[in-house]
Amino acid sequence: MPTICIRVTEAQKVELEERSVRFDGNVSEYIKDSLFGDRNREVLARLDVLGELVASLSALQTKGTSMQSEPSPTMLAEALILLRMSLSPEKLRAARAELDRLKIASWEPPPEHRRG
């Protein structure tokens, strides 16, 4: 089987090792699953559908068709959740820091809908 080598920072290496726990610490298996696994394909497919929906809503609004002026909360919540699933913890923290800097509250699901 061919081999591909990449360079990462020490912090990225530690993160990959932590994320690969469900693969018994096998970083290669984790990376292959992240890139080519069913979960990744499903997330990308859902984002494609959401993108098409937003584009069609925008097109209808441009034509003057009476539609809601904003995408539905359900669609926005799904897009947010999918995007959060695709971010590393470090990038998620950076995004939240930027929201804090801009004084924008980060959306969280109501307590009754949280897992835990």
pLDDT tens digits for 13-58? 998 999 888 888 899 998 888 888 877 777 777 778 877 777 777 7
**Residues 51, 105 share a domain:** yes
**Residues 100, 62 share a domain:** yes
Is residue 2 situated within a structural domain? Answer: yes
Instruction: Measure the CA–CA gap between 37 and 43, rounded to whole angstroms.
Output: 10
Closest CA to 81 of 50, 104, 116, 111: 50
Q: How many CB atoms lie within 10 A of CB 30?
A: 20
**Residues 20, 7 share a domain:** yes
What's the domain count of the chain?
Answer: 2
Look up residue 113 and give its two tokens.
Answer: 């809908």
Q: Using 50, 70 and 90 to split pLDDT, how confident is the model at 10? A: very high
What integer best gives the mean pLDDT of the chain? 78
CA atoms lying within 13 Å on the CB side of residue 56: 6
Q: Stretch 111-116: mean pLDDT, rounded?
A: 61
pLDDT at residue 6 is higher than 80 = yes
**Residues 72, 15 share a domain:** no
Please give the residue that has the higher pLDDT: either 111 or 2: 2
Residue 113's pLDDT is 61
Q: Using 50, 70 and 90 to split pLDDT, how confident is the model at 73? A: confident
Q: Exposed/middle/buried for 101, CB within 10 Å: 0-12, 13-18, 19+?
A: exposed
Instruction: Measure the CA–CA gap between 54 and 48, rounded to whole angstroms.
Output: 10
Instruction: Measure the CA–CA gap between 13 and 25, rounded to whole angstroms.
Output: 12
Domain range holding 28?
A: 1-36
